[in-house]
Structure 1
Amino acid sequence: MGLLDIMENESDCIESIFQSYISSKSKKDIFLFFEGKDDFKYYVSRVSSHIGDKEYGVFHCNCKMNVLTIQEMIVNQAAIQDDKKNLYFIDRDYDSNEDIPDSIYITSSYSIENYYFTDSAIKRMLIGVVGFSEESEEDSLDFKIVFDHIVNKRNEIIEEIIYANAWYSLQIKKSKDCGKFPQMTPLKEYNVIKNLNQICDFERLVEDSIEITEWEMNNAVEVLKTNPVNEIRGKYFTRALTPIFRDIFQDAGKKNNRKLFSKKRKIHLNLSDIICELSAYADTPPGLISYIKERLSA
C-alpha cells in the first residue's frame, strides 16, 4: 500500500469516527478515544472506578495522530462544552508533545507497554497469577527465583536492543526538525534489531535514514540507560518478554521437570490474552488518575 493510500484510509477513519461521535454524543455520558484496541485493556480498569454507572462510548483511532486530529475536530466543530466529557489517551513516544493540550493524556513513559514491565508490575503479576504468599517460606524462595529470572531476562533484552533503540529515537526526533521521515518499519521488529550495535547495521535496514554521528548515538544510549524500562520502546518489551512469561507460567503448572518452581502451582492466567493480564497488573501513574478525575469533574 502506497503513502497516498494510507493517508486516504486514515482520512476515512477519522471522518467515520467523527461522524459516529456526532451522532451518538447525546446518547452517552462519556467518550474514550484510544490509539489502538489493546489500549482499552489497560485504561478501562483505571477509568471505570471513576465513571461509575455512566454510559460511555469507545473509539479506537488507529494511531496517535488520528487521536490528535479527532480531538481538534471536536473542539473546533462541536460545542466546546461537549469536549469536557471526552477522555483522550496517547503514548508519549519520542515526540516532543509540546503543543498537545491538557485535555489529552500522554503517558509518562514511552508507552503504556512500559508500565507492564516495571519491577513493581512484575511483582504484582507474580503474586496475582501464581498466588505467592509472604507467610510461606517456600513461596518466598520461589518468588525470589522467578522474579530475579524475569528481571534478569528483561535487563538482557535491554542490553540487546539499546543501541537500536537509541538510533531509532534519534531518527524520530531528527525527522521532526528536517522534515524527512524515514521508513522505520524494519526497526520495529525485536528479532531484527537484537544485538545490533553499529550505525552501519541500522543504515542497511533503513535505506532512507537520517545521518547519525557516533557522538549522538553514545549520548542517546546514555539517556536510555538512565531509566531504560521507561525509555525503551515498549513494544520491544512486549514482543520479547511475553514468551518468557508464558514459559514461566507453563513451567509452574508442570507435574515434573520444573525449572523455576519447587512445586506445581495452580496458575490463574489467560495465556491466550496475556496482554489483558499484563494490563491488569501494570503500573498506574499518579498523573493518569489526576487526569481522569479532572476531566470527569469538569
Structure 2
Amino acid sequence: MADPQMTAQIRDRDGFIAALDQSGGSTPGALRLYGIPDDAYAGEAEMFRLVHAMRARIMAAPAFTGERVIAAILFERTMDGDVRGAPVPAFLWEQRRVVPFLKVDKGLEPEADGVSLMKPMPGLGPLLDRAAALGVFGTKMRSVIALPSRTGIAAVVAQQFAVAAEIARHGLMPIIEPEVSIGSPDKAGAEAILVAALAEALDALPEERAVMLKLTLPEVPDHYAALVRHPRVARVVALSGGYARAQACARLAANHGVVASFSRALTEDLRASMSEAAFDAALERAIAEIYRASTVKH
C-alpha cells in the first residue's frame, strides 16, 4: 500500500521532481556535461561508478531536500546503491524527505509510424517487487513521439497505460512519459493529438486508479490544463527535453499546475572539479530557479 505521507507530498506539496535517471546511452553525455570526458574511464562499470558519485553528491547537498525537491527519479543501479552508507531510497525519504521513483523502461524501439515505442521489459514484475521492498513510491517510463501520427501516438498511449496497469497492481504510482521531441517538425500538432489520446485513456481508468503524467513543455501555454484537472491524474510534471534551464523555466512558468521534472536543466552548471562550496551553491541556484518556475506562474 502506498505511503500516505508520500502520496500527500506528490499530490499537494509545492516543489518539483529531480530526474536523476540517465542510463545506458545517455550516461556518457551526462558525464561530459559534468566535466568528465569519455577517455577518463574504461568500461561500463567505471562509467556507472562515476555517475553514481555525481548523483550521490547531488542527493547529499544541503539544498536537496523535500522543501523544494518533492521527489527524485532513479536509475536501477542508483536505486541499488548507497549514499552515506544508507540505501538510496531510504536516504532520500528518511534523511531528505524526497520521494523515490524508479525508471523502469529498457530504452526505445527504432522509430516507426512517427514514434518510438518502449522495448520489452522482461523481469518487470520482480523489479517492481524489489523497488517496493526498498521503499520506492513509483516508477517512470519513457516513449518518444517525433511526428503528429494519430496511429503512432495511439500506440504509444496504449502501451504506456498497459504497463502502468501492471505497475499499479504492484502498489506503485506510474509516471507515464510520452515525450514529444522538441525537434518535431509539427510539435504543436503532435501535442494536440497526444492530449486527446491521454484524456481518452484517463477516462477509461478505474475510479480508484491514478497516474502521473510527464510531458514535454508545450508550444501553447496551459495546453495540459484539462489533464491537470483530471480526477485520475495525481500530478502533471514537465521534462526539459533538451531546452536549457532558462528557456525550460520560462516555458514552465506559463503552464499553471505543472511542475518540473528536469534532468539536464537541473545539473547543467555542475562540474566534477568544483569545490563542495561551489557545487552546493550552483545546485542551490538551480533548485531555486526551477522551484520558482514550478510554483510562481504568469
Q: Same fold judged by TM-score > 0.5?
A: no
TM-score, normalised by the number of residues in structure 1: 0.29
Larger radius of gyration: 1
Greater fraction of residues in helix: 1
Greater fraction of residues in strand: 2
Query: Which one scores higher on RCO, CA 8 angstroms, separation ≥ 6?
Result: 1
